[in-house]
Amino acid sequence: MSSDETEKTPAELLSLPNEVLCYLFTFIPPHDAITKIPLVCKRFSLIIKDAKFWSTRIRNEQSVRMPQCELRHPDYSPQKSFYMIHQQNQRWKDWESQRIITAPGHMATVDSVMLFSKNEKLFCLSGSRDRSIRLWDIQNVGSGENSEENKWTVAQNDTAHSGWIWNVSRNEDSEKFYTTSWDSTVKEWSIPDGGALQELNSVNLGSAVQCVSTSGSSNEVVCTTFARRTAVIDTRSFKIVADHQLHKKAVIGLAVQGDKIFTSSEDRMMMMVDRRMMSKAVLFEYCPKSYKTSLSLQRHQLLTSTSDGKVKLYDANNFNVVQSYTVTGILGY
Amino acid sequence: MVKSPKSNKKGGKAVKVNNTVAVNENLDLIYTLISSDGEQFQADGHSLKLSKVLSLAAKCLQSTETTIHVEKVKGDTLKRVLEWCENHKDDGPYVSKCGPGLRLPHWDFRWLKSLDNQQLFDLITATNDLQMKQLMDYSCKTVANMAKGKSPEQLRQIFGILTDEEEAELALNEPGPSNAN
């Protein structure tokens, strides 16, 4: 098609009706469809910016039904959702062929790992039953053998606790770490650049401490213990400032978002209390058949794993079950 | 929802099929297809099977008739449609694989590549009107391949699309009630 044939009208892609154009766009890789196509002309832009185009694709091509609490969220964008789902599908499509590297170092079960990034480098902090915590440099692990020049473990503390370490958490703003242990303490750590792990604070909660979360208020850390307790610790004084013992058994699941504290226990109850009034459960669920082994909270959706092998998705505002999957075996984290 | 000039699908859902008619009948019968500009073509039932609209139209014919008027499609486009059907009439059932993952068979790839843009777009419109999923998927994929890795400016050049400014300019100069003397 040469441009000096001025008498001949150029081929009209625009002569195709909209629904044909929509179908055509589904064959273009999502990244190009989102970034380049809208810039071609106004008509294309209107199609790509239409939420319905993407909602239909999520339903038909990706076979995904969004839960109501997600659809009603003010930030919900079907275009973004489609793209994220596409990315995740691509990523996990061949997960068996992804590289697996075993990093030896701990001498006993590693019960908790936490991935984070700092200054664009990737790290992992692990806590183990050998009572130590180790900081791993992920890039080094991926680039070659463990050696003096290419250290996998860049910092460690072999006597971090005097009992099994159950959980590790990190506050993104203050960059401080918190570890919980069978020795009944919660400890606060910092890792200065290039330096060793530094213990800053410690508080004893009376019994083995299980979960920890830094997603509540900025100066507070929430923990749960085996003696049914859910405690809030002020990081400035490192003292317990609030707690409740509404559960009847060990509290093994915790998720926090702002003022909402979600907990689950072996007593088969799952509840949510408001930080400002810890004495009463705002939401409550009792499940006779199983208990929730872990909780994960994001944007009003609570994902739980149960002791009878299911993954259940709840609407965090009202504890309605949105979806339920059965997986074989018992799930941990 | 974006408003669009909707294409009218020919026949299709509005026509009822007589359920008592035997399923395998008339597949070897030769039909005459007449395009919108009067050109005539021959095709058998196996070829027509690839188009939902055409096979339904064939089923609804009176017992002695074998002519189908294909009003929405021009002669040269219809000729290509039938050429493709001829090549694919012995295929098994087609499972549509939406999206960028689709791979074209060798013959189709070369055949579609030999068409120019206008012929390709006309073909896509025809497959939409005649409800031919397989050929539609292949031709859309061909267009998508042409668009691969191109910048918006290049896309406009390839597909003959004007920028919004050029379109506005054109609209301004077009004769009409507002600028008639």
Domains of chain A plus CATH, in order, are 18-87 (1.20.1280), 106-326 (2.130.10.10)
Residue B167 has pLDDT above 90, yes or no: no
Select from A14, A27, A28 the Cβ nearest to the Cβ of B161. Answer: A14
> Which of the two residues, A146 and B99, has the higher pLDDT score?
A146
**CATH 3.40.50.150 describes domain B25-173:** no
What ipTM, to 2 d.p.? 0.76
Residue B51 has pLDDT above 80, yes or no: yes
Select from B4, B143, B150 the Cβ nearest to the Cβ of A19. Answer: B4
Minimal CA separation from B54 to chain A, in Å: 19
Angstrom CA distances, A46 to A18, A22, B143, stand at 10, 11, 20
Minimal CA separation from A30 to chain B, in Å: 9
- Specify the pLDDT at position B14: 47
Lowest mean pLDDT among A167-176, A197-206, A252-261, B172-181: B172-181
- Specify the pLDDT at position A129: 93
Residues of B in contact with A20 (CB under 8 A): 7, 124-125, 128
Q: How many CB pairs under 8 A join A and B?
A: 107
A220-276 confidence digits (pLDDT tens): 999 999 999 999 999 999 999 999 999 999 999 999 999 999 999 999 999 999 999
CB contact under 8 A, B7 and A26: no
Q: Does any CB of chain A come closer than 8 Å to the CB of residue B1?
A: yes
pLDDT band at A5 (very low <50, low <70, confident <90, very high): very low
Count of positions (residues) in chain A? 333
Check: CB of residue B40 under 8 Å from CB of residue B32. yes
Q: Is A53 left (phi over 0), alpha (psi -120 to 50) or beta?
A: alpha
A266-277 confidence digits (pLDDT tens): 999 999 999 999
Residue B3 has pLDDT above 80, yes or no: no
- Over residues A289-306, mean pLDDT: 92
Is this structure's pTM higher than 0.80?
Answer: no
Q: Which two tokens stand for residue A329?
A: 């075996």
Q: Does any CB of chain B come closer than 8 Å to the CB of residue A35?
A: no
Q: Does any CB of chain A come closer than 8 Å to the CB of residue B160?
A: yes
Residues of B in contact with A29 (CB under 8 A): 100, 148
pLDDT band at A109 (very low <50, low <70, confident <90, very high): very high
Residue B27 has pLDDT above 80, yes or no: no
Residue partners of A329: CB distance under 8 A and separation at least 6: A309
Residue A7 has pLDDT above 50, yes or no: no
Percent share of chain A, pLDDT over 70: 95
Sheet strand arrangement including A230-234: A209-213, A220-225, A230-234, A239-244
- Over residues A95-114, mean pLDDT: 86
Q: Does any CB of chain B come closer than 8 Å to the CB of residue A61?
A: yes
- Specify the pLDDT at position A248: 94
Q: Does any CB of chain B come closer than 8 Å to the CB of residue A40?
A: yes
Q: Does any CB of chain A come closer than 8 Å to the CB of residue B164?
A: yes
Select from B136, B140, B160 the Cβ nearest to the Cβ of A10. Answer: B160
- Specify the pLDDT at position B99: 63
